[in-house]
Amino acid sequence: MIAKILLGCTVFALTVATASAQTKSEISGTCAKADVEQSVPAGDQPSHMFSVAQGKCTTKGEVAGATSKSAEYSEHRDVTATRMKAWGVYIETYDSGDKIIYNYQMAVSVKDGVPGTGKGTYQIVSGTRKMKGMKGSGTCMYSPGADASVAYTCIGDYTLAAASK
């Protein structure tokens, strides 16, 4: 009986010791109006469009001791006169040369063709170098910036892959 208890405690201790801890993170920045954008009318109502867009962002934040330097996004959008829904890939580059690759979904209000406030979610799908094998997720809040840019703040959790021995 004592052997079973000791075995259970040992297994539990090893599990705790080898489990990757989740770390809270907050990343923010501003994405400029898309550098590339192509739209086609959906055809069901005059202001309904489907589009693809690609652009750059300035970023602020730190992950695993590396400072965020810049980011790029590529997304597809469903846009009406009053709202925009977008799904895309966001690649953030750090001063260390590491990159984190995110998938995201967002919904923001639109007024006079300019993005407004909204919210969304993200998932970390991969990374490079020290960020390789990273996983995580979180939520984002969006607000309008100057010149049709969009400012964002994202809060979530991430887990780095276990270090190789």
- 25-38 pLDDT, tens per residue? 898 999 999 999 99
Residue 2 has pLDDT above 60, yes or no: no
pLDDT tens profile 117-154: 999 999 999 999 999 999 999 999 999 988 888 999 99
Q: Does 3 reside within a domain?
A: no
pTM (two decimals): 0.82
In a domain, 13, yes or no: no
pLDDT single digits (tens) 44-93: 998 999 999 999 999 998 888 899 999 999 999 999 999 999 999 999 99
pLDDT band at 162 (very low <50, low <70, confident <90, very high): confident
138 domain-assigned: yes
Closest of 100, 105, 90 to residue 133, by C-alpha: 100
| The total number of structural domains that make up the chain | 1
Q: Is residue 122 part of a domain?
A: yes
Kindly state whether residue 56 falls inside one of the protein's structural domains: yes
Flag whether 34 is in a domain: yes
Structural domain span for residue 102: 22-159
